[in-house]
Amino acid sequence: MEHLVTFSVHDGIGVIDINNPPVNALSSGVPEGIKAAVETLESLPDVHALVIIGTGRTFVAGADINEFVAATSGKGSMPVLHPTLFAIEDCTKPVVMAIHGTALGGGLELAMAGHYRVATPDAQVGQPEVKIGLIPGAGGTQRLPRLAGVSKAAEMCAFGESISASEALELGILDRILEIDLRSGAIAFAQEVADKPVRKTRDRNEKLAPSDALNTLREQCKKTRRNLIAPLAAIDAVEIASTTPFDEGLKREAEIFERCVHSDQSKGLIHAFFGERAVAKVPDIPKDTPVYTIHHAAVIGAGTMGGGIAMALANAGIPVRIKDTEQAALDKGMAVIAANYSRSVKSGRLTWQAMEQRMEMITPQLGVDGFDRADIIIEAVFESMALKKQVFTEIDQIAKHDCILASNTSTLSIDEIGSATSRPHMVVGMHFFSPANVMRLVEIVRSDSTCRPVVATAMALAKTLKKVGVVVRNGFGFVGNRVMFPYMNEAMFLVEEGATTEQVDRALTDFGMAMGPFAVCDLSGIDVFWRIQQEFPAPAGTRRPIGIDKLYAAGRYGQKTGAGWYRYDESRKPLPDPEVVAMIRQKQRTISDEEIVERCIYSLINEGARVLEEGVALRAVDIDIIYLTGYGFPAYRGGPMFYGDTVGLEKVAKRIRDFGGTLAPLLERLAKEGKMFHE
Ligand code: 3H9
């Protein structure tokens, strides 16, 4: 406990250092250590004030999230911060919180229990608990409105976004921004206020007037945080501060927190939080694996994917050459890039200067000038093995020997593509998702030959591009698309059997999917699905949906032709089309939403079990993160495999059998043994 928190005295000021790397979470031992140090301070007559500061890269990133996992699974006790926060707030000598990096969640709650808060100019503060399905549980919903006002506090607790030090100063959360060294500046500040009477945050009631803005905020949450319980719960808790005395408010906050922390939503979101970090740790690619530095990049193909990838590189400050074979295609690609940036400028997310700088980083060209200097060349041409092999043979001859050759293929074999080069060890799949400048997922596909430094470089590049790289093995459709096909097939079977496209899409968006399968199919293009079916026909004897062939034959390629599974008006609004049903309906029975969700989602889980068993996905969590960051699976369900565990694999297996499906051996075994994917 001693090393987590240290107490020392400097020029009549006590200093508590919190030292719990990497982010000074308030793990067991830290709050107790702070409380003990405050008690020590009270006993020292020659020490007149206290500074609390974090060592290392940040102040305090909140409660230790691992402790919630342990507590809700019966393996530990729930963290309790109130005794420490009261000890600070009730301290008879002024307590100054010195903030750098971030004061998040319990970290901001700790800071608000102090009598003053000073910070570095680049510090950030926030109540992000909602992002893991919680509300602030250590008085944040009661103290924040007392400093920042009810409406701003509700917004911060409901959306979970951090704010800058300057905004926090303006709102009254901070008392001063220190341009000088934080530690000495905070000690000087403490000397300045040492003789002043202390003012407890909980006694400050002047900003607690009820706010009408909360109802608008609730409406906003219902739209943008669909199905989530924590954002609305956070608003309720903040509202209580405006109508109820502090102590009663704390009790009510605790009741709401308790409901949230035991919810499946919180468990799913916490799984997603740790999962995103877990996928970055690949057992045979240790942290010290050498990586190639990427100074210059090149992209082949100026279509939707190539353009988006070029934007992602330029956004990260990496100059990129983008090549296409026809001037018209190149012009069109650059016009799309410019239009995308202009939209960001118009919405205020980007300045004109930044747009210009980014456009300057992208060099369009028909030839291969400068490709010999590229550190990575990313191919994003049409999805055809013959074409890809031709491209790789060509670039292999131009690229320098240590240039990484990456393919953005979504289904094709990286081993086979690599075989078209003299350097299969330098060939890797980097499967971006459309729009590549926005979507966070990159599937990093290693072939049998891809060497470890190349995989490590692809992972590092994904991080530089602010994306989530998930390493997978080679195999048809890798993980994401491979698992999606049975899900899409099931959706199509349901329409053949009596459901409508809009019912299927609605049932699955109600479940939480960002888009329904038919809307996705129309957006990606029926022709794309048709081509994949040609390249990879279903094995003999397996049921194959008839919809794709019929729509393709009718020239209904989706949004791009104004008709696919839906018809589209000028504003691209999807309209149900009875013609489609007439084309593919085989039977007529009433199908419930429950059946739709079970058949589609369980088929995802079943195929997930197959890719796991085959080793295409390394761990269940990799599949979860792929689905959360690339396929619009609801984060509060933790990903398909985590959701399967939540439902219970025995039930999942039984329902798949009931629907006539064939169980993946791994799923069958786990279900029989009463086990889970995530043990
Ligand atoms: C809370 O406070 C509830 C209270 O209201 C009530 C209590 C009663 N706990 O993200 P990084 C780990 S809820 C445990 O890669 P960055 C993380 O897993 C909490 N571990 O670094 C990773 O581990 P590893 C409210 C945590 O610089 C390592 O630290 N707070 C926690 O990109 C580095 O993290 C939040 O929700 C934690 N609280 O980002 C803040 N935080 O190395 C959550 C981090 O083994 N944290 N770790 O993979 C963050 O948003 C980011 O981590 C932060 C740093 C911005 C701080």
Local mean pLDDT, 10-residue blocks, the chain (679 residues) = 86 97 97 97 96 98 97 94 98 98 98 98 98 98 98 98 98 97 97 94 95 95 95 98 97 98 98 98 96 98 95 98 97 96 94 97 96 98 92 97 96 95 98 94 98 98 98 94 94 96 97 96 90 78 90 94 94 91 92 98 97 97 98 98 98 97 96 95
CA of 278 to the centre of ligand 1 (A): 13
pLDDT per residue as tens digits for the range 340-358: 999 999 999 999 999 999 9
What lines the ligand 1 site, CB under 6 Å? 22-23, 25, 61-66, 79, 81, 102, 104-106, 109, 128-129, 132, 134, 136-138, 140, 274, 277
Q: Which protein residue has the closest C-alpha to ligand 1 atom 28?
A: 22
CA of 24 to the centre of ligand 1 (A): 9
Question: Alpha-carbon distance 429 to 388, whole Å?
Answer: 12
Q: What is the pLDDT of residue 1?
A: 45
How does DSSP assign 633-674, residue by residue? --GGGT-HHHHHHHH-HHHHHHHHHHTTPPPPHHHHHHHHHT
Tell me how far the alpha carbon of residue 164 is from its chain's centroid. 21
Nearest atom of ligand 1 to the alpha carbon of 280: 48
Q: Which protein residue has the closest C-alpha to ligand 1 atom 33?
A: 22
Q: Which protein residue has the closest C-alpha to ligand 1 atom 46?
A: 61
Q: What is the pLDDT of residue 649?
A: 98
Nearest atom of ligand 1 to the alpha carbon of 57: 27
| Contact present, 429 and 474 (Cβ < 8 Å) | yes
Nearest atom of ligand 1 to the alpha carbon of 160: 36
CA of 60 to the centre of ligand 1 (A): 9
| Contact present, 284 and 305 (Cβ < 8 Å) | no
pLDDT per residue as tens digits for the range 325-344: 999 999 999 999 999 999 99
Q: What is the pLDDT of residue 534?
A: 81
Q: What is the pLDDT of residue 539?
A: 75
Q: Which of 4, 23, 281 to mutate to test the pocket of ligand 1 (most atoms within 8 A of CB)?
A: 23
Q: Which of 26, 65, 86, 132 to mutate to test the pocket of ligand 1 (most atoms within 8 A of CB)?
A: 65
Count of alpha carbons within 13 Å of 62, Cβ hemisphere only?
23
SS3 label, residue 217 = helix
CA of 125 to the centre of ligand 1 (A): 13
Cβ neighbours of 264 (radius 10 Å): 16
CA of 62 to the centre of ligand 1 (A): 7
Nearest atom of ligand 1 to the alpha carbon of 106: 2
pTM, 2 dp: 0.95
CA of 455 to the centre of ligand 1 (A): 26
Question: Alpha-carbon distance 458 to 448, whole Å?
Answer: 16
Tell me which residues are annotated as active site: 109, 129
424 upstream amide cis, omega within 30 of 0 = no
Q: Which protein residue has the closest C-alpha to ligand 1 atom 5?
A: 136
Give every strand in the sheet of 176-177, ordered side by side.
Answer: 5-10, 13-18, 49-54, 95-99, 116-119, 176-177
Q: What is the pLDDT of residue 531?
A: 83
Q: Which amino acid is at 544?
A: R
Nearest atom of ligand 1 to the alpha carbon of 62: 2
Nearest atom of ligand 1 to the alpha carbon of 66: 14
Q: Any idea how long the chain is? A: 679
